[in-house]
Amino acid sequence: MRWKLAFLLFLGCAYFNAYYNARRLFEQAEEEREKGKDVKALYDQVIRKASKVIAFYPKSRWVDDSLLLLGKALYRKGEYEQAVRKFRELREYFPESGLVDEAKYWEGMALGEAGRREEALSVLVELAEGKDKWACRASAALGDLYDDPTEALSWYERALHCIEGPELFAVGLRLARTYRRAGRPEEAERLIRNLLRKKPPLDLSYLLQEELAGALSDMGRHEEALEIYRELERIGSAEVLLGVGRVYSKMGRREEALKLYAEVAGAFPKTREAVQAWWESGRLLLRLGRWKEARDAFRKATEEGIPCEEARQAGEYGEKLEHLEELKARADSTGDVRDRVAL
């Protein structure tokens, strides 16, 4: 009997050690991901170790934990469909597990990333009806899923009333941005000032101050906005320089704005900030009637090679301007009234 007991104890330790190692690697990967490091290899190790627990110890008490860990690692790697399957397996085979709500949250997130928006909404809305932290996080995730700022606002506001810790400031930032998108900068200002009084972490404090400057500029309080940006210039952020450029543009200091955008594009190549700089330049040049320069700016935005909304829009604007240039050239060369009407 003693050897049987020892063997069972050994198996129990093996189950836990395999799961513990996978969890430790996942935590390490999450920390390094926050620092901007390439952590794909770490997530691969998590997937291997968590899969081993599920395959070799299917009766152990750590299988639901391992399924959740496996799904989260797959999510972080961008393998969303596989992640959805793992979260659903946990919910189906372990309906009494204390991890069901967390699995449902991550399932909703993965469905959203996989482009299955309606399914994501269904999962997250059901979860948001609860009372725990995952219900609160589901509300924030629902805000992210809505393009319409009016619809997003109600979910972010709901999340802000129940979220705790550093997440409070991250959700508050998203809510402030959505207030601005909805044309409600006054509410964005009130919210941000309230959050700043609560002493957010330094990185979120910078982002909140940037958003505050943007809200002030939205209300025509450009000098106040510039004062905040000047305080932030010491961190050397591309976003700060872009913000100053946008304020200059609104103030009519257009050449100064164009110069700043060019500085950002030169100092931060192959980044979304560079794309945004070319995009802002193109739009400003277009308003100034400098079509050829605007077309070149839009082209450079796409050449940065960063897939984002600004690059997509720059591509569309660039194509339209090229078409207009072709029509103008044809009208000039033929003198045909029909060509000038098309122009």
Q: What is the pLDDT of residues 238-248, one digit of tens each?
A: 999 999 999 99
- Mean pLDDT of the 149-162 span: 95
CB 173 within 8 A of CB 207: yes
Among the residues of the chain, which ranges form H helices?
2-34, 40-56, 63-76, 80-93, 100-113, 117-128, 133-145, 149-160, 167-181, 185-197, 202-218, 222-232, 238-251, 254-267, 272-287, 291-303, 309-334, 337-342
The residue with greater pLDDT, 290 or 10, is 290
| 58 pLDDT higher than 90 | no
73 to 84, 102, 105, 300: CA distances (angstroms)? 11, 14, 14, 35
The residue with greater pLDDT, 289 or 11, is 289
| 48 pLDDT higher than 70 | yes
Q: Which is nearest to 156 in space by CA: 165, 167, 166?
A: 167
> Which tokens go with 191?
């919210």
Per-residue confidence (pLDDT) for residue 338, from 0 to 100: 52
Per-residue confidence (pLDDT) for residue 281, from 0 to 100: 97
**Neighbouring C-beta atoms of residue 266, cutoff 10 Å:** 10
Can you tell me the distance from the alpha carbon of 89 to that of 82, in angstroms, rounded to the nearest whole number? 11
Percentage of the chain exceeding pLDDT 70 = 92
- Mean pLDDT of the 326-336 span: 68
Main-chain dihedrals φ then ψ at residue 131, nearest 5 degrees = -125, -5
pLDDT digits (tens, 9 = 90+) for 113-149: 999 999 999 999 999 998 889 999 999 999 999 989 9
Can you tell me the distance from the alpha carbon of 330 to that of 308, in angstroms, rounded to the nearest whole number? 34
pLDDT band at 329 (very low <50, low <70, confident <90, very high): confident
Q: Which is nearest to 317 in space by CA: 279, 287, 264, 265?
A: 279
CB 218 within 8 A of CB 240: no
Mean pLDDT, the chain, integer: 90
Can you tell me the distance from the alpha carbon of 40 to that of 73, in angstroms, rounded to the nearest whole number? 9
Per-residue confidence (pLDDT) for residue 185, from 0 to 100: 98
Any residues with CB less than 8 A from the CB of 293 and at least 6 apart, and which?
Answer: 285
The residue with greater pLDDT, 258 or 55, is 258
Can you tell me the distance from the alpha carbon of 136 to that of 155, in angstroms, rounded to the nearest whole number? 9
pTM, rounded to two decimals: 0.84
CA atoms within 13 A on the CB side of 285: 23
